[in-house]
Amino acid sequence: MSSPDLSIPPLVVIVGPTAVGKTELAIQLAEELGGEIVSADSRLFYRGMDIGTAKPTPAQLSRVPHHLVNVADPRETWSLAVFQQAASQAISSIHARGKLPFLVGGTGQYIHAVTQGWLPPEIPPAAPLRLALEGLANKNGKDWLHDRLALLDPPSAASIDPHNLRRTVRALEVIFTTGRRFSGQRQRSGSPYRLLTLGLTRPRPELYAIIDERIEAMFAAGLLEEVRRLLAQGVPPDSPTLSAIGYRESVAVLEGRMTLEAAKTQMKRLTRVFVRRQANWFKADDPGIHWFEAGKDLRQEILQLIRTTFLPETT
């Protein structure tokens, strides 16, 4: 076996579905190895969105340095390109300090953009077209516009949440501007890192039970009050940030359009759909992912794998 190219900087990636246990495992590993965590969860960027995102607690955040958590105002929207640049800068700064970076999250596009060196299409915004598409969504609904995207570019539609109007509009904007599929225009420069990708999994019934308990706990912890506070701070109720699962249902409850129990039921259903979408990004048979079943004592086994991969002189 050839020796690894030590000139290529290392990166540990931890992936898996929501609520599987990535956060605590990443913190334990980073504590042991003197590492730092870069969040690849698109919901954790925003300040004040804590309960509905299951953001790491202040105690967890204090245990090891975290990057790209609480870095944006919820009235702004971070694009994939902005995240990609910020994550690359954070990883470089960690390497410069002689530390090991851990990229952690369940947002497949964000993980792959960093690890595969995605080069997004350099198509400038077309304001009149964008306004027309947004007008169609307002008239016919977000799902209607997403269905149009599915007809034109099924791979893009499969990777975009139907409720994420901003990304649906952007994909259609690029398609109509260039005459080519959005999914076919994404280029890859190759990974700039020596990767070790760890995947966490649980049996679906067990994972769904954890998700249901988490959703109940969110409301008990004050999710409605958190959303009421965001609205009072001037975050529009139809903003992209409040379109995330849990937030849009909470807005509907506060506006009297949905009962609390209906909101919980819808959150549980949509989170299951989200879990299945995550599974499409991180395949169980992907040879590039080392899969482990959460709920077991994995720390020593994974530490040994990391040390063998990146720190062979210590093993």
CATH number of 299's domain = 3.40.50.300
- The domain that holds 142 is classified in CATH as 1.10.20.140
Would you say residue 179 lies in a domain? yes
Q: Of the candidates 93, 97, 94, 114, which has an alpha carbon nearest to the alpha carbon of residue 40?
A: 114
Query: What pLDDT, on the 0 to 100 scale, is given for residue 4?
Result: 60
Q: Are residues 131 and 238 in the same domain?
A: no
In terms of residue numbers, what domain contains 132?
Answer: 127-185
One pLDDT digit (tens) per residue for the chain, 315 residues? 445 676 789 999 999 999 999 999 999 999 999 999 999 998 899 999 999 999 999 999 999 999 999 999 999 888 888 899 999 999 999 999 999 999 999 888 889 889 988 776 667 777 788 888 888 888 888 888 999 988 888 888 877 778 778 888 888 888 888 888 877 666 666 788 999 999 999 999 999 999 999 999 999 999 999 999 999 999 999 888 998 999 999 999 999 999 999 999 999 999 999 998 888 888 877 889 999 999 778 889 999 999 999 875 544
Radius of gyration, alpha carbons of the chain: 20
Would you say residue 101 lies in a domain? yes
Distance CA 263, CA 277 (A): 21
Would you say residue 308 lies in a domain? yes
Residue 137: enclosing H or E segment and its boundaries?
helix 127-140
Classify residue 82 by its DSSP letter.
H
Phi, psi (degrees; rounded to nearest 5) at 105 = 170, 170
Alpha-carbon distances of 229 from 71, 91, 94, 210, 218, rounded to whole Å? 18, 33, 34, 27, 15
Q: Are residues 170 and 253 in the same domain?
A: no
Last residue of a domain, one of 158, 185, 212: 185
Q: Are residues 191 and 181 in the same domain?
A: no
Q: Are residues 191 and 302 in the same domain?
A: yes
> Do 268 and 215 meet the contact criterion of CB atoms below 8 Å apart?
yes
Q: Are residues 18 and 93 in the same domain?
A: yes
Distance CA 282, CA 15 (A): 8
Would you say residue 90 lies in a domain? yes
Pairing of strands 10-15, 101-104: parallel
Q: Are residues 210 and 111 in the same domain?
A: yes
Coil, strand or helix: which one is 229? helix
Would you say residue 152 lies in a domain? yes
Q: Are residues 41 and 113 in the same domain?
A: yes
Query: What pLDDT, on the 0 to 100 scale, is given for residue 202?
Result: 93
What is the spatial order of strands in the sheet that 36-39 belongs to? Answer: 66-67, 36-39, 101-104, 10-15, 194-201, 289-293
Q: Are residues 142 and 110 in the same domain?
A: no
Q: Are residues 164 and 79 in the same domain?
A: no
Query: What pLDDT, on the 0 to 100 scale, is given for residue 187?
Result: 61
Q: Are residues 174 and 204 in the same domain?
A: no
Would you say residue 3 lies in a domain? no
Query: What pLDDT, on the 0 to 100 scale, is given for residue 166?
Result: 80
> Do 279 and 115 meet the contact criterion of CB atoms below 8 Å apart?
no
Q: Model pTM?
A: 0.83
> Do 133 and 172 meet the contact criterion of CB atoms below 8 Å apart?
yes
> Do 28 and 299 meet the contact criterion of CB atoms below 8 Å apart?
yes
Last residue of a domain, one of 185, 206, 231: 185
Q: Are residues 78 and 192 in the same domain?
A: yes
Would you say residue 216 lies in a domain? yes
Q: Are residues 262 and 308 in the same domain?
A: yes
Q: Of the candidates 41, 19, 42, 39, which has an alpha carbon nearest to the alpha carbon of residue 27?
A: 39
As for how many domains the chain has, the answer is 2
Query: What pLDDT, on the 0 to 100 scale, is given for residue 312?
Result: 57
Classify residue 2 by its DSSP letter.
P
Residues paired with 102 in a beta bridge: 12, 37
Would you say residue 299 lies in a domain? yes
Query: What pLDDT, on the 0 to 100 scale, is given for residue 81?
Result: 83
Last residue of a domain, one of 165, 185, 205: 185
DSSP 188-227: E---SSEEEEEEEE--HHHHHHHHHHHHHHHHHTTHHHHH
Query: What pLDDT, on the 0 to 100 scale, is given for residue 315?
Result: 43
Residues paired with 292 in a beta bridge: 200
